[in-house]
DNA sequence: CATGAATGAGGTTTCATTCAT
DNA sequence: GATGAATGAAACCTCATTCAT
């Protein structure tokens, strides 16, 4: 049944719930629309009008739910970080053989960036603004800390099996893996332009993944 | 006869101080100012007024010389690419021992990005726009091709000395070196925010350089 | 319930005085103001600022309702054409004796142009632009076709009564009537300047009307 | 011989001539270019840059020779009036049979407007500005008075031959002839748009000339 | 005679945001 | 919860004109 929009207040609780589901749906629609707009045009280039239009909702509603353009941008960032970390959790690297775990982490990262190009451009925008939005967020650090711990246990297991070299910083390693995947995709357009080469060709993409895996394992393995 | 201009040709654009009635000087002042504005605020966030003001020149003059905001942005891009490629040439990698050459290339790239943060943000902006500006440039490819050839000869020499593995694609390798340096700096703000760690601390920076060099040499060396 | 609007529908746009939060009223106020500005300064010479000011509304609202200067200009043109054609309909020429009908059409045209000098200058502007705006209009032709049919029946009746010559093209005749009235008024300023004669003097004006009627009847009558 | 405009007096005549011819040529080039620009874009729409470019000369030179945009516009107007009046003189209507003279005047006017569309649009622009420029001109009236006298003698001769009706005002008649020719061409674009008919088709054009001649002679002849 | 460099004022248009319902 | 109407500030860009040579 559709949620009634009648404003009369003394209404049964059953009827209220659908109302808040409508609200949720609106907020999600705005978030999705905002994510697309911000990622394709940047923070300054994004238009509140376009976001409202893409969401099929009135512009005023964005302000009602999110306060301002900057607040909305932060909401989008928190959302996309939550999404990637959640997906990483689903890899269950802690249960896998360490070498395979590294392999999987590289290929997961590569594929996630590939399938979520908006993640890359949103981070670029936020970095342009010196992470001014994220710095105001309480939830962002706690969202990201499990990842480091996880990678640390993988490295530790690898070292105990005498496969991995000692003294590898999990943060440095994570950043390196991210670097290799991120940059290739994030700067794909300029690289293609300056090298006159189609870096998106299937063969080039496959080579890239194998190259990156070689690089990382070449470093981690003893 | 024309008034003699400053005789030192490859002067940093920072040093330009506009004086009346000198077209070259005005153009350089605009370029330097535009580079700073675009890099700190992005293409959409940059303000033509600010560019004019920073350059100490009338806004109208920007249009007189560069036509439009987008054309100016392209001019800036061409300029910064020319600068980095020129600096790379000055390394004379072709004259150095191959292992040392790789080391130098990594550390040069790291330091160049470090000293020219605007290069990073400008490229990010251009990638946000799918390299739409660079694609219109005639000069950009020829500017960048020498680099690949140079790296290729370094790899070839290393292989002939039986030090380097075979089959290393110079473009892939260059992209990997750039990746490692670029991402750490470009995403420094968000990484610091999510990991709650100061990645700019001198010790962290030194570790990073050594980590990257290890990674790259671990891959290239037999 | 919506606030009731002014019930009299065919109110002259001059009389519109904008009040807050009434879309129709605002649009009419903009149209009236734009008509005055465009007609007195031409398309290029008209200022959006002035239009907004005359309308007593924010400039942004013009773009909200009409999109652009050119679209606004087209809206004005459609409006003034609708007005004159409507006024012509009100003559009910189809019910009048043919000779008298021609007389009335001449004098109506003369007086309409006289009382609506903006019509003349707006058409001049549009012709300067090769009717680029009208060509994009769907409604303009259907608005104007009844006129030709009407004039045709008048001529046909006159011919059946053996008063009018045969083979008179209603379009040619209409254009001739319009020509005679239009040019005298449209070029009044330059004509007065070159002939050094006040063509607007009441006597000159009366002579003109009688001269034009003579000319037209002299041609139509057998 | 032309009066030399060079202010330096003690210079060889040989040297002056080419220089002042250059100056004349430049002024003529500017006038022609300005006439085209003003006629195609109107006074407000015309661009001094375009005029300079079309003339192949530096913009500053326009100010040097003509002072300002408005002064240049007046210069153009005086020029085109001089041209048409000169062409009319060349008809030598005073030597022709009166009926034929009227015929010729109609067809000359028609063809002149046809071949000089810029005359029409320039006059429209000047009328939009209430002949503000022409009113400042000393030469414009004396340029135009011979025309009226000429037409008057033609009418007088026709009347003496008992062919023409009495009491025809030469100014009214001239205006009517001009009206019929001018309006059809000046408003050609809007008329074509509203009637959905190609008024420029050769057949339509021929019909128009014959229609106008009929109209005028129908009135003048007894 | 001629010109490239430069500008202040002002043009159209856009924007995030708020108002009133 | 939702919306159309409205706005001040500021964006990019243009223009006639002047400067300095």
Q: Give me the CATH number covering residue D184.
A: 1.10.357.10
Q: Which ranges constitute the DSSP H helices of chain D?
A: 13-45, 48-55, 59-66, 69-89, 98-115, 117-128, 139-160, 170-186, 188-195, 202-220
pLDDT in tens, chain D (222 residues): 333 343 433 334 344 444 456 778 889 999 999 999 999 999 999 999 999 999 999 999 999 999 999 999 999 999 999 999 999 989 999 899 999 999 999 999 999 999 999 999 999 999 999 999 999 998 888 888 788 889 999 999 999 999 999 989 999 999 999 999 999 999 999 999 998 889 999 999 999 999 999 999 999 998
Query: Do C49 and C82 share a domain, yes or no?
Result: no
Counting other chains too, the contacts that D57-66 makes at CB distance below 8 Å and 24 or more residues apart are D57/D26, D57/D29, D57/D30, D61/D26, D61/D30, D62/D30, D62/D34, D65/D26, D65/D27, D65/D30, D66/D30
Query: Do B80 and B53 share a domain, yes or no?
Result: no
Query: Do D54 and D127 share a domain, yes or no?
Result: no
* Mean pLDDT estimate for chain A: 88
Q: Is the pLDDT of residue A18 over 60?
A: no
Flag if C215 and D211 touch (Cβ within 8 Å). Answer: no
Summarised one tens digit per residue, pLDDT across range C145-182 is 888 889 999 999 999 999 999 989 999 999 999 999 99
Nearest chain B Cα distance for residue A31, angstroms = 20
Chain C 16-35, CB < 7 Å to strand E: 20-21
Query: Do A91 and A5 share a domain, yes or no?
Result: no
**If you ran DSSP here, which 8-state letter would residue D166 be given?**
S
Chain B 29-58, CB < 7 Å to strand E: 57-58
Q: Is the pLDDT of residue C19 over 70?
A: no
Q: Is the CB atom of residue D65 positioned under 7 angstroms from any atom of strand E? A: no
Q: How many CB atoms lie within 10 A of CB D27?
A: 19
SS3 category, A221: strand
Distance separating alpha carbons of residues A45 and A131, to the nearest angstrom: 17
Query: Do C87 and C2 share a domain, yes or no?
Result: no
Q: Which residues of C touch D211 (CB under 8 A)?
A: 169, 172, 176
Q: Is the pLDDT of residue A19 over 70?
A: no
D164 touches chain C (CB under 8 A): no
Query: Do A111 and A17 share a domain, yes or no?
Result: no
Q: Which residues of A touch B214 (CB under 8 A)?
A: 219
Query: Do D174 and D137 share a domain, yes or no?
Result: yes
D188 touches chain C (CB under 8 A): yes
A1 touches chain B (CB under 8 A): no
Which of chain E's bases lie under 7 Å from a protein CB? 1-21
Q: Give the CA D31 to C1' F15 distance in Å.
A: 20
Question: Cα D37 from chain centroid?
Answer: 16
The tokens for B195 are: 């990991």
Query: Do C8 and C35 share a domain, yes or no?
Result: yes
Residue B52's domain comprises 1-67
Q: Which of A48, A67, A86 is the last residue before a domain boundary?
A: A67
Instruction: For tokens 């194998």, name the residue.
Output: A210
Residue to test with chain A: of B190, B196, B207, B219, most A Cβ within 10 A: B190
Summarised one tens digit per residue, pLDDT across range B51-100 is 999 999 999 999 999 999 999 999 999 999 999 999 999 999 999 999 99
Query: Do C86 and C60 share a domain, yes or no?
Result: no
Q: Which of B20, B43, B67 is the last residue before a domain boundary?
A: B67
Query: Do C61 and C106 share a domain, yes or no?
Result: no
Summarised one tens digit per residue, pLDDT across range C103-112 is 999 999 999 9
Task: State the pTM of this model.
Answer: 0.87
What's the CATH number where C34 sits? Answer: 1.10.10.60
Element spanning C61, H or E: helix C59-66
Q: Which of A47, A67, A87 is the last residue before a domain boundary?
A: A67
Residue B17 CB contacts under 8 Å (≥ 6 apart), including other chains: B25, B29, B56
Q: Give the CA A77 to C1' E13 distance in Å.
A: 31
Q: Is the pLDDT of residue C16 over 70?
A: no
- Count of domains for chain B: 2
Query: Do C63 and C82 share a domain, yes or no?
Result: no
Query: Do C105 and C63 share a domain, yes or no?
Result: no
- Tell me the pLDDT band of B35, cut-offs 50, 70 and 90: very high
Chain D 32-91, CB < 7 Å to strand F: 46-49, 59-60, 63, 68-70
């Amino acid at each position: 049944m559709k949620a009634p929009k009648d404003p009369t207040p003394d209404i049964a609780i059953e009827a209220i719930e659908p109302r808040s589901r409508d609200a949720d749906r609106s907020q999600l629609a705005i978030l999705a629309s905002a994510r697309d707009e911000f990622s394709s045009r940047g923070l300054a280039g994004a238009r509140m009008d376009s976001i409202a239009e893409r969401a099929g909702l009135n512009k005023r509603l964005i302000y009602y739910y999110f306060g301002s353009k900057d607040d909305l941008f932060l909401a989008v960032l928190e959302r996309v970080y939550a999404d990637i970390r959640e997906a990483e959790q689903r890899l269950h690297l802690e249960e896998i053989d360490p070498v395979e775990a590294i392999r999987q982490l590289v290929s997961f990262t590569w594929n996630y960036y590939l399938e979520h190009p908006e993640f890359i451009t949103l981070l670029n925008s936020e970095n342009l603004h010196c992470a001014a939005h994220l710095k105001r967020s309480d939830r962002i650090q706690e969202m990201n800390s499990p990842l480091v711990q996880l990678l640390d246990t993988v490295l530790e297991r690898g070292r105990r099996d005498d496969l991995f070299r000692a003294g590898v910083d999990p943060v440095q390693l994570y950043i390196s893996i991210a670097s290799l995947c991120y940059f290739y995709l994030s700067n794909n357009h300029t690289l293609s332009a300056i090298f006159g080469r189609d870096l998106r060709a299937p063969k080039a993409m496959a080579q890239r993944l194998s190259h990156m895996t070689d690089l990382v394992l070449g470093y981690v393995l003893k």
